[in-house]
């Protein structure tokens, strides 16, 4: 038997004040769009802001549906909108905020597995890493230089 070790590395910020102005602005946009989430079942609101290389910012919020799993996570709402409206643009940064309606979450909330795989598809397609920032309603902010930190053994078309 052989064992392998996979390590990941994240930058950790104590507050948005430590972030570059561009990323602070993305967090403001993600927090604002979070209010548009349709989350009557989970009461868990997520907002996403995506910065593209053409200077555009694409926003998304989670959209739940009684006919589960017909809803869609905020990350995929924003990703698919970016790909549909700006198919030639590269994704530079994704900023994710999350908050339940009743209580504050003091820990960073990462993308779910389906969203990680979706982000991986675009990172592979554009052949360049996507910076991902994520936080809860308050507290620390994590930054990943690439989706590969969140999904190191990713599934891709080369495996088909």
Cα angle 16, 35, 28 (rounded to 5 degrees) comes to 25
Q: What is the pLDDT of residue 69?
A: 83
Q: What is the pLDDT of residue 35?
A: 94
pLDDT tens sequence across 92-145: 999 999 988 767 778 899 999 999 999 999 999 999 999 999 998 888 999 999
Strand 131-135 and strand 91-100: pairing? Answer: parallel
Q: What is the pLDDT of residue 121?
A: 94
Give the global pTM.
0.94
Quickly state the pLDDT bin for 44 (edges 50, 70, 90). Answer: very high
Is 75 marked active-site? yes
Average pLDDT over residues 50-73: 95
Quickly state the pLDDT bin for 158 (edges 50, 70, 90). Answer: confident
**Span 11-159: which CATH code?**
3.40.140.10
Q: Residue 13 above 90 pLDDT?
A: yes
Contact 145, 151 (CB under 8 A): no
Catalytic residue among 3, 32, 64, 75: 75
């Amino acid at each position: 038997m052989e064992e392998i070790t996979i390590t990941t590395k994240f930058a950790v910020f104590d507050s948005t004040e430590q972030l570059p102005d561009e990323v602070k602005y993305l967090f403001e946009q993600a927090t604002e769009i979070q209010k548009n989430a349709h989350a009557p079942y989970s009461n868990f609101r997520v907002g996403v802001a995506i910065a593209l290389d053409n200077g555009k910012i694409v926003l998304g919020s989670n959209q739940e549906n009684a006919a589960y799993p017909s809803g869609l996570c905020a990350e995929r709402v924003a990703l698919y909108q970016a790909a549909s409206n700006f198919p030639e643009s590269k994704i530079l940064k994704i900023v994710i905020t999350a908050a339940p309606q009743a209580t504050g979450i003091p820990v960073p909330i990462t993308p779910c597995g389906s969203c990680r795989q979706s982000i991986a598809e675009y990172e592979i397609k554009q052949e360049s890493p996507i910076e991902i920032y994520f936080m809860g309603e308050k507290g620390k902010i994590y930054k990943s230089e690439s989706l590969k930190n969140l999904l190191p053994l990713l599934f891709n078309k080369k495996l088909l």
